[in-house]
Structure 1
Amino acid sequence: MTDPWSRRAFLSTAGGGALWLGVPRARAGGEPAADTYETMRTVWRGLYLGAGFPSTAEPFRSRLAELGEQAEGWRAAMSPAPRTLWPDLGFATDPEKMMQSYYRLRTMAEAYVRPGTAHTGEAAMRTALLTGLDHLYTDVYHAGQLPYGNWYCWQIGAPQALLDLCVLLQTDLPTARLADYCAAVDHFVPDSVVASYSGTSTGANRVDLCRVLALRGVVGADAAKISLARDALAPVFPYVSSGDGLYRDGSFVQHTWVPYTGTYGAVLLGGLGMLFALLRKTPWEVTDPNAQIVFDAVERAWAPFLFNGLVMDAVSGRAVSRGVPELDARRVQQDDHTRGHAVLAGILLLAEGASSAERARWRGLVKGWMARDYYSPPMDDQTLQLSALARLAEVRADTGVAGLPEPVGHRLFASMDRATHRRPGWAAALSMASKRIAHYETGNGENLRGWHTGSGMLAWWGAGYGNGQYSDAFWPTVDPYRLPGTTVSRLVLADGAGGDWGASRPDAVWVGGTTDGEFASVGQHLRGLGSTMTARKSWFFLADTIVCLGAGIRSTDGVPVESVIDNRNLGAAGTHALTVGGTVQPAALGWSASFPSPGWAHLAGFGGYVMSGPAAFKVLREARTGRWSDINRAGTTTALTRRYLSIWYDHGTDPVAAGYVHQMLPGATAAQTAARAASVSWLRVLANTEAAQGVSVESLGFTGVNFWQAGTVGVLEASAACSVTVRERPDGTALLSVADPARALAALTVVWNRPVAAVVSRPPSVVTAEPGTRLRLAFGNLTGAAGAGQEVVVRLG
């Protein structure tokens, strides 16, 4: 019996070879060969549709049948009238609905050209498609029409769908109509949109615009348009030091102030993969050496935020509020897993233009992520296009690819105020905010209550548990003032408070830290959104725990201030047992209690918490009800209820100098948590004040201090505000990582009062390094280091 998932069945654009081999080269003189454009249309058709997958095997058979049913429903409901093609999508004032109309037509076109939909080549579907395209052209999307509302609909959303339709229906569209549609695209997307790398023409948006220009050139046989699209990609590749794009530390920012690896980054990834594939082996092939930066970013920028198939919400901006859109007739759930699956498919597409070594490794990464996504298997993802599903299926079936495990290590993304920590069995992500990065993003009526995301939200997942923690209606049902890890004033905020598109940036600069690649010291000078609340927060990421410190917490808002230890989503009916200090607590909804510190708590199925004081901690079980429409105006109005277990410190109204110390132990048992609480010597808190926060763990050889000002903490001295992480190694060496998170120091001296025999290596930023009975390091100007750690390796005395 033949294997329906064999590699041979998937040799298509997804598999890299078949469609590209026949692309003709340029004629002598530089003009493209006569059939170049037709071949490129064939390539694009294959990229968009996928090819070679077994249409009679699951999940493709069911998906094709669903596609046919959806297309038939829309065909039957189509009712052209002034400023509307469907009664529920009137676009007189809302271009989003015009764009959605093109999306529906594109779906209908898929059903028309794909086998297995029951509408393949159907005359009635063809007539409806031509009628719909003519109506939208005549009524709204034509040369001379003045755009209104959201620019994206006119320059990216609608033209991308229209040009896809032109490719899918090429043989069914009259030549004159194709010319009309090209003229419409030229009107709304003139060459000038890529004349300057600024505004809405940067990062992922620039890639989307280049996709429009390139396909417009293919559809209209316009070499100049394709050349322009290729050349306009050039500013996307190099590293940036501010604004939109990829940074050297792996950060990806869009909308100037928003970490966006998970959504806009995914668009950039997939868009570049499509364009590289379209232009490969044509006169317009991308040969810019800076394109390698994008390939390098797969593991530097995207992989650190992927875990068990999901992409962490910390880098998905306002997209976290897109649970179930009201316009989605199928009511398909969108969440961190579906966003992650799109990134996986994008990586596979980009892999076809990468080196053989990169391609092999990325396929192994994707296969590992797929295999571990037990919560939301990628092959069941209803949001994925069939072409993406085919790419994932091909890798899953390839017995020559071994799934790679999750990495262990810490990554600090100083340029977007984010950090990820990966340990055997669990992972965590930290979200912060500064003058450089917004508290959160709202816009277009989305993410209306994400206010405190950047106030130190600490999200975490276990390898075999908690993978639906933020997927299962978390954002519409969680208390937005109690996001896990945050310190927050309970001052009531209006929906969208702080302003659209990342305007909510605090006046704080010391945000960041240091890492040796495995452990880390991270700190945040926190200024509350819309409140007077300020605090100093530090996190020390270690082997089995995250040590959390808070100091100098103060406010004059006239309302309580809280620091949230954790807030776990227990699902619709979760009754996970809570043990505090050895006693199992009530599981009744509405139960709450206060416990003295020091103390410990354990939540069955998740992990443990050790509170070291000085503040008492509170616990609450509650059921919370919300709707996606509460946080996203385009969301569904269906009521959703989830149970939560919240643990927090209540610092009281208008605290003056409140603080906290606790450890979070993901995956720990109750016995392990109790043992850590009893081991008072395991962790030494060296300082927890507004001047400095630091800890040491002798058994790990770890010392970490965040100096908020010049001073001495334990064996470390600093002449100015900075972050220092020290790791002593079993081989008699030690690594010191020193950073200037505020990016303000022209000079810095750090002293480690520990005998050092010799300096093994040091970066150019170290002006002098003096070993001996103590180590004295003098750094030069650190303002250009972008908050990155300066690593010095020494041999101990």
Structure 2
Amino acid sequence: MVTPAYPSTAWSVPVPHMSRRQVLSLLPAAGLLAVAAPARAAAGVDHARLLANTVSIFAGTPEVNARPEVAGKLAAIVKTARQRLTAMDQAGAGELFSGLALGTDDVNLRLAYQYLYEIALAARTPGGELDGDAAAQGRVADGLQWLHERYFGDQTAGYYGNWHNWEIGIPTHVSRTLALLPGQLRQERPGLTPAYIASMDAYLRSGKNGDVDLDSRFHTGANLADITANRILQGALTADDARVGKAISDQATVFATIDPYHLQHGNTDGYYPDGSFIQHHSVAYTGSYGRALLTRVVQTLKTLEGATSDAVSEGLPGVVYRWIADGFAPLIFEGWMMEIVKGRAVSRTNTGYADVGVIVEAIADLADHVEAAGALALKKYVKFLPAADTAAFVSPVSIARYAAIRADAAIPAADLNAPERSVAFNAMDRTVHRRPGYAFALARSSDRISKYEYMSGENLMPWFQGDGAYYLYLAGEDQREVFGVDYYTAVSPYRLAGITAPVEERRTVPELYGRLWYENPGHPLNFTSSSESQNTYVYFPRAGNAFSGGATLGAYGAAGMIQSDDAAYTAKQAGTLPDDFVAYRNARATKSWFMLDDEIVVLAAGVSGQGGRTAVTTVDSRIAAPGDAVALTGERWTGGAWQAGDTTPPRWLRYANGTRRTSVGYAFLTRQTVTAGLETVTRNRRVVRTTNPDTNVTKNVFTAAVAHAAGDAPALAYALLPNATEARLRDYARGPLTVLANDRRVQAIKHRTLGIVAANVFADGPRLVERLLIDGPASVIVRSGDRTTVALSDPTMKRDRVTVVLHGRSLKLDKGDEGVTVRRVPGGTMIQATTRHAHGRTFTVTLR
């Protein structure tokens, strides 16, 4: 069993991970027997305690609910329930709630069950005005019976629309509602609970024999956690030890760190050794599905507390602690969840602050389940983050716990991140670079990771979000005014910051096919709404390139990517897809990002629009409120002030928001015409998501872009300088940075002050960079000083080893990672890392 240490600063300690075998070793013998002998599983479960824990989680306790911090939550629970009861009173023919037409709309059916849950919750919330209201509870039971008889019990009539509603959404509300109903009421209706459990089992069509199937592509990650949490409750309701034990055993598998070279059940969804989280097998998803998984497993820990053997959850809280420290914390900037890990959820109107509020609730709860040092580190982080909106918390108990942590003067505020941190989430093709005044987040893609996610009318124009789109978050800003749904609404999808896109107009999926997906069930690939072909070619297509990754050396980072077509276009050219299926050709480029202290250096070479098209690289796009005092200044290479509309190449530009007292500088290292300017844009939020509120958004949009003529265009190099002054930008050309190489084979820079040489070698074979002979493909960072430190990785994830020779005097090994060897060779020192099955991990060695 892994026993993690809990430092006060989590970033300073190696990350412990759990294999599936280690996870299963944490379960009691009864839980392990569940797989082979369900009848003997989880003997000794205290079902009454399990149900009582569940009620406390969602409804609170008399002691907690008496606290003033919880009063707002109680009032909201009662207000919602009264609204639902009124809607029941006003229901028309064929309705349970007024306005919810049933029979063909699965979303409305799910909402009907949600409304029943909300009434049941209020009627079980201690201290609430409806607490113990037998009439309201009776109406809930009647409603459950009515819905089952008419709309849920008949399997031949159900399962239309989204599978998630039938297998997860509705069962979640039903299971919790039944748990909230008094035991006596359930006893008075002895057939209600068994009938629902039988129906929910029957609707679990992606499972096996009415139970979880760990080999199903639907039963992974957050989905698996949701399904098993529901089944734990269902087992408690019927005192079914076997059901509880099997569900616990199944859910425990989500704690196992994914080893991509030894997959269990073929599953790639979950947390990886580098902190990455993937859902849907290829989508970077920490900020949405990962957040949901975190919430669900923490709730399970609370549900099981005192109801099962301690061995059931022993060690698992430590795994979740590492998810937070190494998976979530790097992606949270001043209380905002970064866009690069939200998939289609970027198009929703809930904000990055609300996303983090959910995480904060889970962190506050987890602090009660980890060892003392870990609990303190989590509490410090809770105090470090901006105050969360507790109205969005699920549990009154969590609100009280959170308030107690925030009010405790003995707990100092402390980040889980180091002040300076560079994180390569190479398993999900993401990079995060943090400094006290800013954070830089980069989205890449590859033949392993999707270019984007579109689904169900969400994220309608996602085409370039994985093509090197980046987000520069500045300290002190309200990120709702800079990013979030309004960024994607106001900024053209062809002008997202950082991307290189062909000059063309694309159509959304609904525009192309008249529905939210491509339909062709008669084709050999069987295109239906949730088919694997739909996933592969419509919802979240992967790229075609292998090179996407990078290395980190301490708080510095290098990343690179070869931009390619997506899987849909490649398959269409091969004749695999139907004639009426529309696929778009991408632009091509070789790109690098070198992340230092005061600058992020961006190189692009081999840029081509393909097929005779021109292409555009967007240096940056930023939005501001129409009333903000925004200014754009610059200087020409030839001297003199640069102004918007100027066709003379600028040496630098500076975007400044005087209202928010923030700025970004752009230092151009190659002489090219830059089109830059400000415009007022008004668009409706439904351009990015069909179900968004019908709301127009007006923003002041700044865009700086470089056009590339058809064919191979000259290489481009520039630096982003967060919070730069004009004086800093004027001096930058005389600064310590040099571009050593910038073509399709090698991209490299040198920073004399930092003593850093960093390079991405995209081509096969040895390439000379400065005094480094790098055997590519590889990503390498070398820092010289009293000691020489070398960091190297394989961004293709296909090589057995990566080799670098440092020409000059021979150096000796001081310390190094396992798998790195150092030896003298004629004319220098050779460093070789065994990168086989390292999945893009950085190897570091220090020489003297």
TM range (shorter): 0.7 to 0.9
Q: How many residues align?
A: 743
Q: In the TM superposition, what are the counterparts of 1:482-631 in structure 2 within 5 Å?
A: 482-496=495-509, 500=535, 502-528=539-565, 530-581=584-635, 592-604=645-657, 605-631=662-688
Conservation of the 8 A alpha-carbon contact between 1:342 and 1:388:
no
CA distance in 2, matches of 1:772, 1:344: 56
Displacement of 1:55: 5.5
CA distance in 1, matches of 2:94, 2:619: 52
CA distance in 2, matches of 1:450, 1:120: 46
Does residue 456 in structure 1 map to residue 493 in structure 2? no
Number of the residue aligned with 2:759: 705
Number of the residue aligned with 1:476: 489
3-state SS of 2:382 partner: helix
Displacement of 1:192: 4.7
Number of the residue aligned with 2:85: 75
Say which of 251, 259, 270 aligns to 1:241.
259
Q: Specify whether residues 142 and 33 from structure 1 end up closer, same or farther in structure 2 by C-alpha distance, changes over 3 A only.
A: same
Does residue 399 in structure 1 map to residue 409 in structure 2? yes
Amino acid of the residue matched to residue 514 of structure 1? A
Conservation of the 8 A alpha-carbon contact between 1:477 and 1:624:
yes
Number of the residue aligned with 2:527: none
CA distance in 2, matches of 1:753, 1:125: 80
Amino acid of the residue matched to residue 609 of structure 1? Y
Conservation of the 8 A alpha-carbon contact between 2:340 and 2:442:
yes
Say which of 198, 207, 231 aligns to 2:249.
231
Query: For structure 1, which runs of at least 5 residues remain unmatched after alignment?
Result: 1-25, 324-333, 371-376
Number of the residue aligned with 1:365: 381
Say which of 419, 438, 458 aligns to 1:426.
438
CA distance in 2, matches of 1:715, 1:398: 55
Deviations 1:124-147 (A, max 9, x none): 533542332222221222264542
Q: Specify whether residues 383 and 287 from structure 1 end up closer, same or farther in structure 2 by C-alpha distance, changes over 3 A only.
A: closer
CA distance in 2, matches of 1:540, 1:110: 52
Q: Specify whether residues 446 and 66 from structure 1 end up closer, same or farther in structure 2 by C-alpha distance, changes over 3 A only.
A: same
Q: Specify whether residues 34 and 254 from structure 1 end up closer, same or farther in structure 2 by C-alpha distance, changes over 3 A only.
A: closer
CA distance in 1, matches of 2:608, 2:590: 10
Deviations 1:538-577 (A, max 9, x none): 1100011111111110122454311111111112432312
Conservation of the 8 A alpha-carbon contact between 1:84 and 1:92:
no
CA distance in 1, matches of 2:41, 2:777: 60
Does residue 340 in structure 1 map to residue 356 in structure 2? yes
CA distance in 2, matches of 1:778, 1:38: 59
Identify the range of structure 1 (181-190 vs 510-519) with the bigger mean alpha-carbon deviation: 181-190
Please report the TM-score for the alignment, with normalisation by the length of structure 1. Answer: 0.87
Displacement of 1:716: 1.4
Displacement of 1:747: 4.2
Displacement of 1:617: 1.2
Deviations 1:602-635 (A, max 9, x none): 4232321111213221112122223332222222
Displacement of 1:515: 0.6
Amino acid of the residue matched to residue 263 of structure 1? S
Number of the residue aligned with 2:214: 196
Displacement of 1:255: 0.2
3-state SS of 1:783 partner: coil
Conservation of the 8 A alpha-carbon contact between 1:705 and 1:724:
yes
Q: Specify whether residues 393 and 777 from structure 1 end up closer, same or farther in structure 2 by C-alpha distance, changes over 3 A only.
A: same
Q: Specify whether residues 508 and 472 from structure 1 end up closer, same or farther in structure 2 by C-alpha distance, changes over 3 A only.
A: closer
CA distance in 1, matches of 2:797, 2:392: 45
Number of the residue aligned with 2:46: 36
Number of the residue aligned with 2:774: 718
Amino-acid identity (%): 26
CA distance in 1, matches of 2:793, 2:326: 20
Displacement of 1:115: 5.2
Amino acid of the residue matched to residue 36 of structure 1? D
Higher relative contact order (CA 8 A, sep 6+): 2
Identify the range of structure 1 (485-494 vs 388-397) with the bigger mean alpha-carbon deviation: 388-397
3-state SS of 1:402 partner: coil
Number of the residue aligned with 2:807: 753
Conservation of the 8 A alpha-carbon contact between 1:607 and 1:667:
yes
Displacement of 1:235: 2.3
Number of the residue aligned with 1:379: 389
Number of the residue aligned with 2:830: 776
Q: Specify whether residues 771 and 51 from structure 1 end up closer, same or farther in structure 2 by C-alpha distance, changes over 3 A only.
A: farther
Say which of 366, 373, 378 aligns to 1:350.
366
Conservation of the 8 A alpha-carbon contact between 1:379 and 1:393:
no
CA distance in 2, matches of 1:156, 1:699: 55
CA distance in 2, matches of 1:387, 1:448: 38
3-state SS of 2:461 partner: coil
CA distance in 2, matches of 1:273, 1:299: 15
Q: Specify whether residues 494 and 783 from structure 1 end up closer, same or farther in structure 2 by C-alpha distance, changes over 3 A only.
A: farther
Does residue 794 in structure 1 map to residue 847 in structure 2? yes
Q: Specify whether residues 91 and 693 from structure 1 end up closer, same or farther in structure 2 by C-alpha distance, changes over 3 A only.
A: farther
CA distance in 1, matches of 2:729, 2:140: 63
3-state SS of 2:562 partner: strand
Does residue 95 in structure 1 map to residue 106 in structure 2? yes
Displacement of 1:287: 4.5
Number of the residue aligned with 1:136: 147
3-state SS of 1:565 partner: strand
Deviations 1:323-355 (A, max 9, x none): 1xxxxxxxxxx1111111111212222332222
Conservation of the 8 A alpha-carbon contact between 1:83 and 1:140:
no
Amino acid of the residue matched to residue 349 of structure 1? D
Number of the residue aligned with 1:258: 283
3-state SS of 2:776 partner: coil
CA distance in 1, matches of 2:276, 2:809: 37
Identify the range of structure 1 (459-468 vs 575-584) with the bigger mean alpha-carbon deviation: 575-584
3-state SS of 2:152 partner: coil
Please report the TM-score for the alignment, with normalisation by the length of structure 2. Answer: 0.82
Q: Specify whether residues 387 and 153 from structure 1 end up closer, same or farther in structure 2 by C-alpha distance, changes over 3 A only.
A: farther
